[in-house]
């Protein structure tokens, strides 16, 4: 979407050279003034804490006593002496692999259904979007726990017992809470669908393509940049899932560590066991891991994401 | 000059932004109700303890009109996490209830006030010096023991009678206990009790019954993977037989009696501390809640001990140290408060008060008093305060046993994991 705008912006800037040199410094000064709240916020509340956490990751720090330098010990302990760490990595990957595709598929299906709706589109769009606004809250997670606990709604309806007390099922209950919040990617899909030119479908119809064919040959390729955008965004979010798992497992990541997601274990090490150094090291490994996963997604995108502007060339 | 103006305005903007940042950090520290001193007092416990504590606090406020006490309480697990976060953030409550496990860490971290600084406000003459010493770290009194407690097998005698199972005999061993659990399960179809494999406290009793200890004197592990494997194999077998609670029940334990299998009506006994067992009165309204001693080792060695069950501490950075210590003094030494509190935290440590209130104790307070009296002189000395890593290891213990009860690991594998984790924890 932005790619189509870029050339015009450049041209616009190019048209103004005579006035620029004289005004430039003053303009920048004003820019900094307006930026200062944000720049200060970024420095004090993001960059500084990040630098401190990088330092702490090489120390033993229990929050109360001064940190003491231990070199790479936190990292070696994580990789070689902590079986629970690897279980939390496994639980997180399983969760990402289940929740993200399910959520995106549901978002796409609902967006397709809404696209051609004549009446009540605005209502349904809002209704499906609402869970995205509520879903991250503690209260919804607690309701979720009540629904899936033994003696809860699901137990009564299906007679399955409490999901939250069964390894495997507990993870599914957390994943379902994420899937239920498909509203945000759905709205983006909907916007993407409306950008696809109607002529393409008309032409395909003339050529005798069925709806399945139209979906696979027009909708999916034309929508692929949006799918890619949603995939990256939701994957990054899924890696950092905390609140639902914390509430649904009553803060324990149980049963049998099955919902002990990475951030939950990080919290546990830092704030329950008071190993802030270890927790900081875990946070940095998570940051790197998300970076690697995102880079891999970008790599693969070359082979399946189709930008309309490329097609013009 | 325009440049100058810009610089000025940017400086103003920076200052404003800074103010906004700082403003976000400074909370309403001193704003209290109409010039009164406001103290925050937090504890963990069941609703019964909460009601009685509130009553005692109300009395304190009545006697000290200038002081307002804001109270809050929760279950133990939640309390432990919240207090750790508050303490680390320099926002510890003025007066807090502490566990044996927390003292070492909080005292060495500078969270707790040395009571010597407020000697005038607190009277400790009626305290046993040995017991008082359990609240000392490096010779300083950072915490005052509030009560002593001991573990118990708690059950509803009516349910056992209906099932036709004989009550525990004095000095029963772990094998006797296991047989009783099996018989209960056979006759009622419900598990006999909570799976003790989950509880580090129960493991300690079992271990002491075999002449060992959780920790050595130099604060290292006092047992081996073999010991833990032995214990978990024992409990795991009982679970497979259905004699103790299944994994789905056990995993819901969180330190409140409401979430124990007995409290949820899914088992016929629980192993717990004696004071919190009072919570069962409300959960088994028609029952006859009874306390039996924990099982001994096979040669009769008792494993349980009298433990200072709770401490009171004052935050080092409280703005009102004197008033805070006065509240501690009131809770521990005031005869009226002692009458209200009864044995809700265990039997009081103030010896004068203990004798004074003993004849008036009724209902479950009486039960606890008699239970502790029956063990007087029978038990071995308590171990020294656990190392600060024990607080985290308690949770690790539960999680590793989850792996066993959900049959994802053998007792041996889980035990070896635990030893690895514990060594790393105790190293730091």
Does one domain contain both B140 and B232? no
| Position B162 in a domain | yes
Does one domain contain both B331 and B368? yes
Torsion sign, CA atoms A151, A152, A155, A158: positive
| Position B404 in a domain | yes
Does one domain contain both B219 and B339? no
Tell me the C-alpha to C-alpha distance, in Å, between residue B18 and each of A33, A38, B278, B300, B419: 13, 11, 53, 68, 49
Does one domain contain both B192 and B104? no
Range of the domain at A254: 84-312
| Position B131 in a domain | yes
Best of B1, B17, B78 to substitute, by most chain A Cβ atoms within 10 angstroms, is B17
Q: Quote the pLDDT of residue A155.
A: 80
| Least confident window among A3-7, B346-350, B397-401 | A3-7
Does one domain contain both B200 and B292? yes
pLDDT in tens, B290-320: 999 999 999 989 999 988 878 999 999 899 9
Long-range contact set of residues A234-238: C-beta below 8 Å, sequence gap at least 24: A234/A100, A234/A103, A234/A104, A234/A185, A235/A96, A235/A100, A235/A293, A235/A294, A235/A297, A236/A290, A236/A294, A238/A95, A238/A96, A238/A99, A238/A100, A238/A178
Q: Quote the pLDDT of residue A302.
A: 86
Three-class SS string for A68-96? Answer: EECCCHHHHHHHHCCHHHHHHHHHHHHHH
Q: Sorting pLDDT into bands at 50, 70 and 90, what band is B221?
A: very high
| Position A46 in a domain | no
DSSP class of residue A66 equals P
Closest-CA distance of chain A to residue B180, Å: 27
pLDDT in tens, B413-422: 999 999 999 9
| Least confident window among A82-91, B218-227, B331-340 | B331-340
Q: Sorting pLDDT into bands at 50, 70 and 90, what band is B26?
A: very low
Cβ(A129)–Cβ(A184) under 8 Å? yes
Q: Which residue has the higher pLDDT, B89 or A8?
A: B89
H/E element, A60: strand A59-60
Q: What is the C-alpha to C-alpha distance for residues A143 and B74, in angstroms, rounded to an integer?
A: 20
B156: domain CATH number?
3.40.190.10
Q: Are A60 and B80 a contacting pair at CB < 8 A?
A: no
Closest-CA distance of chain B to residue A131, Å: 28
Cβ(A248)–Cβ(A164) under 8 Å? yes
Predicted TM-score (pTM) of the model is 0.80
Whether pLDDT at B29 is above 60: no
| Position B20 in a domain | no
Q: CB pairs below 8 Å between A and B: how many?
A: 127
Cβ(A262)–Cβ(A88) under 8 Å? yes
Three-class SS string for chain B? Answer: CHHHHHHHHHHHHHHHHHHHHHHHHCCCCCCCCCCCEEEEEEEECCHHHHHHHHHHHHHHHHHCCCEEEEEEEECHHHHHHHHHHHHHCCCCCCEEEECHHHHHHHHHCCCECCHHHHHHHCCCCCCCHHHHHCCEECCEECCEEEEEECEEEEEEHHHHHHHCCCCCCCCCEHHHHHHHHHHHHHHHCCCCECCHHHCHHHHHHHHHCCCCCCECCCCCECCCHHHHHHHHHHHHHHHHHCCECCHHHHCCCCCCHHHCCCCCCCCCEEEEECCHHHHHHHHCCCCCEEEECCCECCCCCCCCCCEEEEEEEEECCCCCHHHHHHHHHHHHHCHHHHHHHCCECEEECCHHHHHHHHHHCCHHHHHHHHHHHHHCCCCCCCCCCCCCCHHHHHHHHHHHHHHHHCCCCCHHHHHHHHHHHHHHHHHC
Burial class (CB in 10 A: 0-12, 13-18, 19+), B260: buried
Q: Quote the pLDDT of residue B68.
A: 92
Does one domain contain both B170 and B194? yes
Burial class (CB in 10 A: 0-12, 13-18, 19+), B23: exposed
Q: What is the C-alpha to C-alpha distance for residues B27 and B250, in angstroms, rounded to an integer?
A: 41
Burial class (CB in 10 A: 0-12, 13-18, 19+), A165: buried
| Position A280 in a domain | yes
pLDDT in tens, A88-101: 999 999 999 999 99
Q: Are B395 and A272 a contacting pair at CB < 8 A?
A: yes
Bond preceding residue B308 cis, omega within 30 of 0 = no
Does one domain contain both B297 and B353? no
Phi, psi of A280 (to 5 degrees): -65, -40
Its ipTM equals: 0.78
H/E element, A207: none
Q: Are A256 and B403 a contacting pair at CB < 8 A?
A: yes
Range of the domain at B97: 37-148+308-375
Does one domain contain both B57 and B73? yes
Q: Are B402 and A26 a contacting pair at CB < 8 A?
A: no
Does one domain contain both B196 and B292? yes
Q: Quote the pLDDT of residue B218.
A: 84
What mean pLDDT comes out for the span B71-87?
A: 86
A308: nearest Cα among A215, A214, A218: A218
User: How many Cα atoms occupy the beta-carbon half-sphere of B1 within 13 Å?
Assistant: 4
| Position A180 in a domain | yes
Whether pLDDT at B17 is above 80: no
How many domains does chain B contain in total?
Answer: 2
Burial class (CB in 10 A: 0-12, 13-18, 19+), A157: exposed
Q: What is the C-alpha to C-alpha distance for residues A76 and A99, in angstroms, rounded to an integer?
A: 31
Q: What is the C-alpha to C-alpha distance for residues A141 and A120, in angstroms, rounded to an integer?
A: 29
Best of B402, B414, B416, B421 to substitute, by most chain A Cβ atoms within 10 angstroms, is B402
Q: Sorting pLDDT into bands at 50, 70 and 90, what band is B9?
A: low
Q: Quote the pLDDT of residue A247.
A: 84
Tell me the C-alpha to C-alpha distance, in Å, between residue B27 and each of B23, B24, B30, B91, B270: 8, 7, 9, 11, 44
User: How many Cα atoms occupy the beta-carbon half-sphere of B322 within 13 Å?
Assistant: 4
Paired strand residues for B289: B156
Tell me the C-alpha to C-alpha distance, in Å, between residue B175 and each of A262, B183, B234, B405: 41, 12, 10, 20
Phi, psi of A149 (to 5 degrees): -80, 165
The dihedral region occupied by A84, where left means phi > 0, alpha psi between -120 and 50, and beta the remainder, is alpha
| Nearest C-alpha in B relative to A32 | B10
Burial class (CB in 10 A: 0-12, 13-18, 19+), A212: exposed
For residue A25, the Cα-to-chain-centroid distance in whole angstroms is: 39
Cβ(B361)–Cβ(B346) under 8 Å? no
What mean pLDDT comes out for the span B352-357?
A: 82
Domain finish residue from B375, B401, B417: B375
What mean pLDDT comes out for the span B384-396?
A: 85
Domain finish residue from B332, B350, B375: B375
Q: Quote the pLDDT of residue A25.
A: 55
Does one domain contain both B119 and B190? no
Q: Does B77 touch chain A (CB under 8 A)?
A: yes
Q: Which residue has the higher pLDDT, A285 or B19?
A: A285
| Position B324 in a domain | yes
DSSP class of residue A45 equals I
Q: Are A254 and B251 a contacting pair at CB < 8 A?
A: yes
Does one domain contain both B217 and B317? no
Burial class (CB in 10 A: 0-12, 13-18, 19+), B287: middle
| Nearest C-alpha in A relative to B86 | A271
A103: domain CATH number?
1.10.3720.10
How many domains does chain A contain in total?
Answer: 1
Query: Which residues in chain A come in under a pLDDT of 50?
Result: 1-17, 19, 312-313
C-alpha R_g of chain B: 24
What residues of chain A lie within 8 A of the CB of B388, using their CB?
62, 274
Name the B residues in 381-420 with CB < 8 Å from any A CB.
Answer: 388-389, 391-392, 395-396, 398-399, 402-403, 405-406, 408, 417, 420
| Position B11 in a domain | no
Phi, psi of B362 (to 5 degrees): -135, 175
Does one domain contain both B181 and B221? yes
Contacts of B379 (CB under 8 A, 6+ apart): B150, B302, B304, B305, B306
| Position B197 in a domain | yes
| Position B17 in a domain | no
B105: nearest Cα among B313, B275, B255: B313
Q: Which tokens in the block code for residue B258?
A: 């409401």
């Amino acid at each position: 979407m932005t790619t189509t705008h870029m050339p015009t912006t450049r041209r616009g800037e190019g048209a103004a050279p005579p006035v620029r040199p004289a005004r430039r410094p003053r303009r920048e000064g004003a820019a900094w003034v307006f930026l200062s709240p944000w720049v200060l916020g970024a420095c004090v509340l993001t960059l500084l804490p990040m630098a401190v956490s990088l330092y702490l990751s090489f120390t033993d720090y229990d929050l109360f006593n001064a940190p003491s330098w231990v070199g790479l010990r936190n990292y070696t302990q994580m990789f070689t002496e902590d079986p629970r760490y690897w279980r939390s990595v496994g639980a997180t990957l399983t969760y990402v692999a289940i929740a993200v595709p399910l959520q995106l598929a549901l978002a796409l299906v609902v967006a397709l259904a809404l696209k051609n709706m004549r009446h009540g589109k605005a209502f349904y769009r809002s209704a499906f979007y609402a869970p995205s606004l509520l879903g991250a809250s503690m209260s919804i997670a607690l309701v979720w726990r009540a629904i899936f606990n033994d003696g809860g709604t699901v137990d009564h309806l299906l007679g399955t017992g409490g999901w939250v007390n069964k390894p495997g099922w507990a993870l599914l209950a957390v994943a379902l809470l994420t899937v239920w919040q498909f509203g945000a990617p759905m709205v983006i899909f909907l916007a993407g669908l409306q950008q696809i030119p109607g002529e393409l479908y008309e032409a395909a119809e003339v050529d005798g393509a069925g709806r399945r064919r139209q979906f696979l040959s027009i909708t999916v390729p034309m929508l692929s940049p949006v799918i890619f955008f949603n995939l990256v965004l939701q994957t990054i979010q899924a890696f950092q899932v905390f609140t639902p798992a914390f509430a649904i497992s009553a803060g324990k990541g149980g049963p049998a560590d099955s919902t002990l997601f990475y951030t939950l274990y990080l919290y546990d090490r830092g704030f329950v066991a008071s190993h802030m150094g270890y927790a900081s090291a875990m946070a940095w490994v998570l940051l790197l891991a998300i970076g690697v996963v995102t880079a891999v997604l970008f790599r693969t995108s070359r082979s399946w994401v189709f930008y309309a502007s490329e097609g013009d060339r | 000059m325009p440049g100058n103006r810009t610089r000025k305005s940017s400086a103003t903007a920076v200052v404003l932004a800074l103010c906004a940042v700082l403003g976000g950090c400074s909370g309403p520290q001193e704003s209290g109700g109409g010039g009164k001193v406001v103290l925050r007092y937090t504890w963990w416990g069941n609703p019964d303890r909460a009601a009685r504590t509130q009553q005692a606090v109300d009395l304190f406020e009545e006697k000290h009109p200038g002081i307002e006490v804001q109270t809050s309480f929760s279950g133990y697990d939640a309390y432990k996490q919240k207090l750790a976060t508050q303490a680390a953030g320099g926002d510890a409550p003025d007066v807090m209830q502490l566990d044996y496990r927390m003292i070492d860490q909080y005292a060495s971290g500078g969270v707790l006030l040395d009571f010597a600084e407020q000697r005038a406000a607190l009277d400790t003459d009626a305290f046993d010096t040995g017991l008082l010493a359990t609240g000392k770290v490096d010779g300083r009194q950072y915490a005052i023991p509030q009560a002593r407690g001991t573990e118990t097998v708690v059950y509803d005698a009516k349910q056992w009678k209906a099932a036709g199972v004989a009550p525990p005999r004095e000095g029963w061993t772990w094998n006797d206990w296991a047989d009783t659990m099996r018989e209960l399960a056979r006759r009622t179809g419900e598990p006999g009790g909570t799976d003790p494999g989950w509880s580090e406290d129960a493991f300690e009793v079992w271990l002491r019954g075999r002449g060992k200890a959780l920790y050595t004197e130099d604060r290292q592990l006092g047992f081996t993977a073999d010991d833990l494997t032995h214990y978990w194999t024992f409990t795991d077998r009982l679970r497979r037989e259905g004699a103790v609670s299944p994994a789905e029940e056990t995993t819901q334990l969180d330190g409140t009696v409401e979430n124990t299998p007995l409290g949820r009506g899914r088992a016929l006994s629980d192993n717990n501390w004696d004071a919190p067992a009072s919570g069962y009165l409300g959960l088994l309204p028609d029952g006859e809640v009874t306390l039996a001693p924990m099982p001994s080792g096979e040669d009769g060695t008792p494993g349980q001990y009298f433990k200072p069950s709770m401490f009171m501490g004052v935050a080092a950075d409280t703005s009102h140290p004197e008033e805070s210590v006065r509240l501690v003094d009131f809770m521990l030494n005031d005869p009226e408060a002692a009458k209200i509190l009864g044995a809700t935290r265990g039997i009081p440590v103030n010896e004068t008060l203990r004798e004074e209130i003993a004849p008036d104790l009724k209902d479950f307070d009486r039960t606890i008093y008699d239970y502790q009296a029956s063990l007087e002189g029978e038990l071995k000395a308590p171990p020294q305060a656990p190392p600060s890593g024990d607080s985290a290891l308690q949770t690790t213990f539960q999680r590793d046993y989850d792996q066993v009860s959900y049959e994802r690991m053998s007792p041996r594998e889980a035990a070896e994991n635990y030893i690895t984790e514990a060594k790393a924890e105790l190293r730091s």
